[in-house]
Amino acid sequence: MAYSNKVIDHYENPRNVGSLPKDDVNVGTGLVGAPECGDVMKLQVKVNPATGVIDDAKFKTFGCGSAIASSSLATEWLKGKTVEEALAIKNTDIVTELSLPPVKIHCSVLAEDAIKAAIADYKKKQGTSVEKGADTHDQPTA
Amino acid sequence: MRSGTLNVPGIVGFGKAAELCRQEMESDTKRLSTLRDRLNARLHKGLDEIYINGSMEHRLPHNLNISFAYVEGESLLMGINDVAVSSGSACTSASLEPSYVLKALGAGDDLAHSSIRFGLGRWTTEEEIDYVADKLTTVVTRLREMSPLYELAKEGVDLSTMQWQTEGH
């Protein structure tokens, strides 16, 4: 498997590994994937309730190097974004940034799912809910 | 005239290998199984929740296959990329299916994804065995700290009864 330098970097120096308190009302937790599939991502965001900005994000991943890199990158991108900006992150952005080969695209899809699940959990706790929309997963054109 | 082309170097080499094998099988079996058992013991000393796939009794002397719970196989391979081993994880196969051999041996899908296959050879040394065991112990420990499954298990959650969200995967 030929890994891009960025995937290797995220594997050797993962960003934001850890956990935020699940019971904090400003923390949203997304847990996606399944052990049987070989991919499980837990992604958490801590939102500033006054500004709607994600102040902190943490992840833990059971999966291959590309899965670890995708979720690590996701936490990097989430910090400083508003909740709505976070929902606009597409799996194809992750594929491009990490130069993921076709066989690893599903890792980026799972990372996008994890972001959306974390935001949905946060909104549920705040009493506002996310609209169930059409499938937002893009296939890269390259 | 000849009916085809035979692999003469292969035939001669295979014959010689069979001769050497007959001469050295007993001593080599002892040497390899001792090294293999040393690797197994050293891994068990440094790590908990690791499981041998297949029988240790009915097994080739130079082979070991272990699942390291809560850590995925391909991410393990990345951490020991100066060591030649392989994994039965889905991520390391072209079909994205875990090893059907491990499944036939009774490994659940999750442990199949966490497996490493070790193959020792005539040039494997004791130093190399110790190096691999110690490096793998460090990598598994680090990856477990990054694993949501390890976190859940430490909290006392029974992973086999959890409902996993797999929508869109």
Amino acid residing at A119: I
Amino acid residing at B166: T
Q: Any CB–CB contact under 8 A between B151 and chain A?
A: yes
**Interval A6-16 mean pLDDT:** 96
Whether pLDDT at B132 is above 70: yes
Interatomic CA distance for residues B23 and B28, integer angstroms: 9
Nearest by Cα to B129 from B28, B34, B29, B26: B34
Alpha-carbon dihedral sign for residues B3, B7, B11, B14: negative
Q: Residue with structure tokens 């059971």?
A: A62
Whether pLDDT at B167 is above 60: no
- Quick one: residue A54, left, alpha or beta (phi over 0 = left, psi -120 to 50 = alpha)? beta
**Interval B27-50 mean pLDDT:** 97
* Residue B53 C-alpha from the chain's centroid: 9
Closest residue in B to A63 (Cα–Cα): B72
Please report the domains of chain B, with CATH numbers, ordered by start residue.
31-155 (3.90.1150.10)
Q: Which pLDDT value is given to residue B164?
A: 87
Q: Residue with structure tokens 């040497």?
A: B31
pLDDT digits (tens, 9 = 90+) for A59-104: 999 999 999 999 999 999 999 999 999 999 999 999 999 999 999 9
Whether pLDDT at B128 is above 70: yes
Q: Using 50, 70 and 90 to split pLDDT, how confident is the model at A130?
A: low
| Most B CBs within 10 Å, among A41, A44, A64, to test the B interface | A64
Selecting from B91, B145, B149 the residue whose C-beta is nearest the C-beta of A35 gives B149
Give chain A positions within 8 Å (CB) of B79: 11
Whether pLDDT at B168 is above 60: no
**Interval B35-51 mean pLDDT:** 97
Q: Which of A25-34, B81-90, B153-162 has the highest mean pLDDT?
A: A25-34
| Most B CBs within 10 Å, among A1, A10, A15, A37, to test the B interface | A37
**Interval A2-17 mean pLDDT:** 94
Interatomic CA distance for residues B122 and B124, integer angstroms: 6
Whether pLDDT at A134 is above 60: no
Selecting from A61, A66, A113 the residue whose C-beta is nearest the C-beta of B146 gives A61
Residue B139 neighbours by CB under 8 Å, 6+ apart: B76, B79, B80
Q: Any CB–CB contact under 8 A between B97 and chain A?
A: no
Catalytic residue among B17, B20, B56, B91: B91
Q: Which pLDDT value is given to residue B2?
A: 86
Selecting from A3, A60, A113 the residue whose C-beta is nearest the C-beta of B151 gives A60
Q: Which residues of A are catalytic?
A: 37, 107
**Interval B99-107 mean pLDDT:** 89
In percent, the amount of chain A with pLDDT more than 70 equals 89
Nearest by Cα to A111 from A16, A47, A22, A25: A16
Q: Using 50, 70 and 90 to split pLDDT, how confident is the model at A141?
A: low
Average pLDDT of chain A, as a whole number: 91
Specify the pTM: 0.89
Q: Distance from A75 to chain B by nearest Cα, in Å? A: 14
Nearest by Cα to B106 from B120, B86, B88, B84: B88
Nearest by Cα to A137 from A9, A46, A32, A28: A32
Domain A5-126 of CATH type 1.10.8.50: no
Nearest by Cα to B143 from B113, B166, B119: B113
Q: Distance from B124 to chain A by nearest Cα, in Å? A: 25
Instruction: Judge if ipTM > 0.95.
Output: no
pLDDT digits (tens, 9 = 90+) for B134-145: 999 999 999 999
| Most A CBs within 10 Å, among B102, B143, B144, B169, to test the A interface | B169
Cα within 13 Å of Cα(A87), Cβ side: 15
Interatomic CA distance for residues B79 and B139, integer angstroms: 6
In percent, the amount of chain B with pLDDT more than 90 equals 79
**Interval B111-115 mean pLDDT:** 93
Residue A42 and residue B151: Cβ atoms within 8 Å? yes
Selecting from A37, A62, A66 the residue whose C-beta is nearest the C-beta of B166 gives A37
